[in-house]
Structure 1
Amino acid sequence: MLRIALSPTKDMDLEDLRIALLNYIISKKIDEELVIRIDDANKNKNIEGKDKEILELLNLFSIEHSRIIYQSENIKYHQKLAMQLMTQKKAFSCFCSDTKLDELKKSAKEEGKSYNYDDFCANLSNEIVLEVNAAFTVRIKRPIDNIKLIDSLNGEFNYTPNNIDSFIILNHDKTPTAEYACAVDDMIFNITTVINKKEDILSAPRHIHIRNSLGYEKEINYIHLPTIQNKNIGKKNSLSSVKCLIEEGFLPVAIANYLVLLGNNAPKEIFTLEEAVQWFEIKNISKEEVVFDFEKLKTINKKHLELIDDLRLSKLLGFADADIGKLGKLFLTNASTLNEIKEKLNLIFSKKDLCKNFEDESKQIIKCLKEAPHIEEFNEFKKYITQNTGLKDNSLLKPLRYLLTKEEDGVNLSDIYPYIKNYLGEIIK
């Protein structure tokens, strides 16, 4: 079983979505169940409604799953297993204050060392623990032996006990920490493969240590993906949210295409998720940091807009007419997103002023078109206006283009006309 674990404490970003997409692809390739887990154990940080937004976005990307799990529903189980670890002397109560811990961290930094908890509370007797009337956290004891992590993409890693440390598994309010809850939930649901960000790779040996301490011996296949750097902003992890990209007019199929393509040795540039399932191999993913290029995404989005069914495109643009879909595709010379196409359509259907320097000609054309019959061909359309107004050449085409498109140049009117001829009553107000 594979899982997509997402936090309702923030917007879903591109790295989150990339991990979700690869989970989906791999689950299809190996024919294993895929579940969605909402990591909502930290109630104080959860954003109301964010879980529903996450689920809606995953649905928008057609990521099929067998069930949805809320981590908060397992808190009692997390606590029960923490008590088991304490009973077995594999975990202990820690009464150290935040001030004390900050001092240890500061001291380690001044000495140029990595911070490690000094295990002061690990050695307290039961009698002393019972006498202490103060809030405490629960820490799992550092392992005795090294922890080996085998990563399908990055190879083998060996972590010493000090790398792992005696870390907190239950907070002061006895809610589980993210690392502990994740490790236990992966155990409960028999997860076989975990895909995560490379920057979170230290969490994996800690997860292994937690499960080892609980007597769970089944190995999990780990895959840690390289970081995505945003080329446009120039800062790591400063990524646009997925919701933002959708609102900007990018197609889910194009976003998915780009994120799977990113750092991957793919047989072709434009594809769907279903096609990716056929050829995807984790070994073909680059181990190096990858760069998110907004302009590249726009190029891929444009190609998917060119391929989309005309009627479907029309509906995405707010219509239900294949001709509007065909019209929208005419603007792909300069447009790359749904929003940019909508801007062109909004100009066509907006109320227009008279064309500058052609005010009288504009009035004549408006009067003529309001009385015109339905005309199929553009040349016949021009001929009709000329016959009824006497206008031709620049005196006709300049104001006519403006009255139909609210632009002075662009796509040929002869190409546009077949798709707007049925809407002239709405266009010429």
Structure 2
Amino acid sequence: MTIKTRFAPSPTGYLHVGGARTALYSWLYAQANQGEFVLRIEDTDLERSTQAAIDAIMDGMNWLNLTWNEGPYYQTKRFDRYKALIQQLIDEGKAYKCFTSMEELDALREAQMAAGEKPRYDGKWRDVPESEHPQDQPYVIRFKNPTEGSVVFVDEVRGKIEVENSELDDLIILRTDGSPTYNFCVVVDDWDMGITHVVRGEDHINNTPRQINILKALNAPIPTYAHVSMILGDDGKKLSKRHGAVSVMQYRDDGYLPEAVLNYLVRLGWSHGDQEVFSIEEMKQFFSLEAINKAASAFNTDKLIWLNQHYLKTLPVEQVKSYLTWHLTDQKLDISNGPAIEDVIKAQADRVKTLKELVEISRYFYEDFSEFDANAAKKHLRPVAKDALILVKQKLSEISDWTPENIQQAINDTATELELGMGKVGMPLRVAATGAGNSPSLDVTLSLIGQEKSVNRIEQAINFIINRENS
């Protein structure tokens, strides 16, 4: 048997963190078992489904590189198939027309709750013959759920689950407007698409017994189910916007690497010993549904940042560059006039938390500046630093081979000749060259900035000090 899983989001918003983890688990299970992964767009909610949301889901899946073997399938393009099977159920006496109005249902629910009962449809039209149906009156189609026995299934995460059929009412499978409902479409899709394993959130557990009964009524095979727990925020409450970014693409925008996000998501409810860092290949090798934790997982942004820093430092530079390109465009940094971006990545990767931050602190490699950071200038561009800057400028301008080694030698010689500590030369030089007080080592920084730019910026700093003296 070929393992076949699916990710089936509703296009009513972005791809959120919980959905991305579900997609990852489904994708990994297929990958781990040489199976297939299907992407299905469950767009039966015609009022709330949007093309923008579909695009957002696709963007998120593509950014995470969760590629699918089939799809995307759209439920709205399969209405004829659903309606044909609904008619089949009606013909077989397994579904029926219900003429109970919304007002009647509301009154029924209120009466049941007032009596301390579980609100549910009372089956009023379940056995009314066609000859007694009212004419020209709106109706829905309901599935005739069994009234005896129970539904038993073994959840791969939670173990055996049993629900009495008496607890389930007759589910609407076709609305008054003629559109089929979610629970019916899911059943038909999983059957038609040969889905063997359904991995989804725990909020669907209550739907599973209903869906199994419909599958049985259609004489369709029943897939294996695995319901994963929700993700909580640091405060123990359900993850939401107040906890920060919950959209997958927001993490892209904030400068996270997809490898870091995937590594973080896979550990939100799954483990393999004490291992924290997993390559995609290791995830495929080790992943199993049985190792998913039943308990809810708490989102920890600090752990995600730690992983992001790890991948910034360990991924091939070309790979980091491919992700950085979006941020360079987004932050409007033109790198055509400056050092190779690969060299900047090597110099800065272990000094930042995100790609966004990498761009922010690398501008001085590509853009000149007319002002110095006020605090750095106040501390380091003082009259006492003028002689050191004048001498180091002279020595740097005389270098014929602009290498980090020769740059460092010029700085060392300046400190020796003036009998100054290295900090008395290095810090004013760093502020002069970068405009601020932080950068990689000076030999690397200046070699990347280039000789002409470095000398010109030191001259600018000297003039700043002279103006400061004369003011």
SS in 2 for 1:404: helix
Q: Alignment partner for residue 235 of structure 1, among 234, 237, 250?
A: 237
1:325 corresponds in structure 2 to 345
Please tell me whether residue 404 in structure 1 is matched to residue 433 in structure 2: yes
C-alpha distance in 2, partners of 1:293/1:282? 23
1:286 corresponds in structure 2 to 293
**1:376-391 correspondence to structure 2 within 5 Å:** 376=403, 377=405, 378-382=407-411
User: Is the contact between residue 415 and residue 422 of structure 2 (CA under 8 Å) also seen in structure 1?
Assistant: no
Deviation of 1:346 after TM superposition, in Å, equals: 3.0
The C-alpha deviation readout for 1:310-366, integer Å capped at 9, x for no partner, is 2332443346532111122141xxx32111222211355452414336277689779
User: Is the contact between residue 352 and residue 403 of structure 1 (CA under 8 Å) also seen in structure 2?
Assistant: no
Please tell me whether residue 356 in structure 1 is matched to residue 378 in structure 2: yes
Q: Alignment partner for residue 167 of structure 1, among 157, 166, 171?
A: 171
1:62 partner letter: N
C-alpha distance in 1, partners of 2:222/2:398? 76
1:25 partner letter: L
Residue identity (%):
25
Deviation of 1:208 after TM superposition, in Å, equals: 0.7
**1:265-276 correspondence to structure 2 within 5 Å:** 265-267=271-273, 268-276=275-283
SS in 2 for 1:123: coil
C-alpha distance in 2, partners of 1:96/1:381? 90
The C-alpha deviation readout for 1:168-193, integer Å capped at 9, x for no partner, is 11122111111111111111112111
The C-alpha deviation readout for 1:52-76, integer Å capped at 9, x for no partner, is 3322322222223222111111111
**1:73–1:302 Cα change, 3 Å:** same
**1:107–1:66 Cα change, 3 Å:** same
1:336 corresponds in structure 2 to 353
Please tell me whether residue 247 in structure 1 is matched to residue 253 in structure 2: yes
Range with bigger deviation, 261-270 or 104-113: 104-113
Range with bigger deviation, 307-316 or 384-393: 384-393
User: Is the contact between residue 402 and residue 451 of structure 2 (CA under 8 Å) also seen in structure 1?
Assistant: no
Please tell me whether residue 211 in structure 1 is matched to residue 215 in structure 2: yes
**1:169–1:245 Cα change, 3 Å:** same
The C-alpha deviation readout for 1:8-56, integer Å capped at 9, x for no partner, is 1111111111111111111122222211111122222112232233223
1:343 partner letter: E
C-alpha distance in 2, partners of 1:362/1:147? 84
SS in 2 for 1:53: helix
C-alpha distance in 2, partners of 1:250/1:389? 45
User: Is the contact between residue 7 and residue 39 of structure 2 (CA under 8 Å) also seen in structure 1?
Assistant: yes
1:356 partner letter: K
User: Is the contact between residue 6 and residue 198 of structure 2 (CA under 8 Å) also seen in structure 1?
Assistant: yes
Considering only aligned residues, what root-mean-square deviation do their CA atoms show, in Å? 3.1
Please tell me whether residue 413 in structure 1 is matched to residue 442 in structure 2: yes
Long gaps (5+) in structure 1: none
SS in 1 for 2:110: helix
The C-alpha deviation readout for 1:236-263, integer Å capped at 9, x for no partner, is 1426111111111111111111111222
The C-alpha deviation readout for 1:358-404, integer Å capped at 9, x for no partner, is 27768977995996766313323436888999998666433322233
C-alpha distance in 2, partners of 1:274/1:35? 20
C-alpha distance in 1, partners of 2:370/2:191? 64
C-alpha distance in 1, partners of 2:410/2:140? 80
User: Is the contact between residue 154 and residue 160 of structure 2 (CA under 8 Å) also seen in structure 1?
Assistant: yes
2:19 corresponds in structure 1 to 16
Range with bigger deviation, 377-386 or 66-75: 377-386
1:153 corresponds in structure 2 to 157
SS in 2 for 1:35: strand
User: Is the contact between residue 310 and residue 324 of structure 1 (CA under 8 Å) also seen in structure 2?
Assistant: no
C-alpha distance in 2, partners of 1:277/1:425? 49
Aligned length: 423
**1:404–1:60 Cα change, 3 Å:** same
User: Is the contact between residue 41 and residue 75 of structure 1 (CA under 8 Å) also seen in structure 2?
Assistant: no
Q: Alignment partner for residue 140 of structure 1, among 143, 147, 151?
A: 143
1:375 corresponds in structure 2 to 402
User: Is the contact between residue 27 and residue 66 of structure 2 (CA under 8 Å) also seen in structure 1?
Assistant: yes
User: Is the contact between residue 143 and residue 170 of structure 2 (CA under 8 Å) also seen in structure 1?
Assistant: yes
The C-alpha deviation readout for 1:187-246, integer Å capped at 9, x for no partner, is 111211100111211111111111111122x231100111111216x4314261111111
C-alpha distance in 1, partners of 2:420/2:413? 10
Please tell me whether residue 262 in structure 1 is matched to residue 265 in structure 2: no
**1:210–1:427 Cα change, 3 Å:** farther
Range with bigger deviation, 200-209 or 353-362: 353-362
C-alpha distance in 2, partners of 1:176/1:366? 81
TM-score with structure 2 length normalisation? 0.81
SS in 2 for 1:195: strand
C-alpha distance in 2, partners of 1:315/1:385? 40
Tell me which structure has the larger Cα radius of gyration: 2
**1:381–1:173 Cα change, 3 Å:** farther
Please tell me whether residue 73 in structure 1 is matched to residue 95 in structure 2: no
Q: Alignment partner for residue 362 of structure 2, among 345, 355, 358?
A: 345
User: Is the contact between residue 313 and residue 350 of structure 2 (CA under 8 Å) also seen in structure 1?
Assistant: no
1:42 partner letter: D
SS in 2 for 1:236: coil
C-alpha distance in 2, partners of 1:324/1:311? 12
